[in-house]
Amino acid sequence: MKTVELLFIDLDDTVYPQNIGIWPYLGNRIYSYMRDVLDIPQDQVVAMRERLFIQYGTTMRGLQHELGIDIHDYLDYVHGVDLSSYLQADQELRQALEAIPQEKWIFTNADYKHAEQVLGLLGIRDLFSGIIDVLDTNPWCKPQPQAFEIGLRKAGNPDPTTCLFIDDRIPNLDMAKALGMKTLLVDIEPDHLGHHPVIQKLAQLPTFLENNTSKSRDY
């Protein structure tokens, strides 16, 4: 049975705690972009963003497909903000990732600059071989299978069955599992159907890997 040789790790709400307020803050930036830049009526913004997110995987992809937005302009507006009041160096997480010998890649539906800021503030950027961002996978994004195919290619075409995909969203995990990857959900409140193993924070990853590889070389 094959062991894990490479880790694909999501960024937002996965490498940092889900309850520190970054996602609501960035969500408000998305609402502002839709309202103030695209002139979408205020009373339509929330429902439209929810529909686009579910239908296309990200609000940006939906706005690109339906309204032809400039995705670079969108990403600069939404993610071009200082997150230093939310994130500081996380020594516990750094030690956990240093304890894992497998190659590690960030695989995110955000952009490279945002990922660099987040990883830099957490003090863990040097622990990753690379970043696969939403511009790399253009015109697709997680959970679309084409995005995963691009991610695998950028990481050197590893055998999917030797990869562990870690994310906070069930649809992304479902697709990774369908493609043959092992999966792991990060969720501080793991109320889900149990299709994927779960940890509450990424710093628990070494314990998860140790427990699973000691019980079985495949999971």
Q: Is 9 helix (H, G, I), strand (E, B) or coil?
A: strand
**22-79 maps to CATH 1.10.238:** no
Angle between helices 42-56 and 22-32 (to 10 degrees): 120
pLDDT for residue 217: 42
Tally the residues of the chain.
219
Domains 6-17+89-215 and 22-79 share a fold: no
pLDDT 10s per residue in the chain (219 long)? 479 999 999 999 999 999 999 999 999 999 999 999 999 999 999 999 999 999 999 999 999 999 999 999 999 999 999 999 999 999 999 999 999 999 999 999 999 999 999 999 999 999 999 999 999 999 999 999 999 999 999 999 999 999 999 999 999 999 999 999 999 999 988 766 778 999 999 999 999 999 986 544 445
Choose among 74, 105, 26: nearest CA to 66. 74
Helix (H) / strand (E) element for 105: namely strand 103-107
Contacts of residue 109, Cβ cutoff 8 Å, sequence gap at least 6: 57, 58, 134, 141, 142
> For the whole model, what pTM was predicted?
0.94
pLDDT for residue 191: 65
**Would you list the domain boundaries of the chain?**
6-17+89-215, 22-79
Sign of CA dihedral 87, 89, 91, 93: positive
Instruction: Tell me how far apart the alpha carbons of residues 195 and 197 are, in angstroms, rounded to a whole number.
Output: 7
Instruction: Count CB atoms within 10 A of the CB of residue 151.
Output: 21
Q: One-letter amino acid identity for 202?
A: L
Contact 27, 59 (CB under 8 A): no
Tell me, what DSSP letter sits at residue 201? S
Q: Work out whether strand 130-132 and strand 6-9 pair parallel, antiparallel, or are unpaired.
A: unpaired
Q: Quick one: fold of 6-17+89-215?
A: Rossmann fold (3.40.50)
Q: Is 202 helix (H, G, I), strand (E, B) or coil?
A: helix
Helix (H) / strand (E) element for 198: namely strand 198-199
Contact 202, 96 (CB under 8 A): yes
Contacts of residue 29, Cβ cutoff 8 Å, sequence gap at least 6: 77, 78, 79, 81
Instruction: Tell me how far apart the alpha carbons of residues 31 and 62 are, in angstroms, rounded to a whole number.
Output: 14
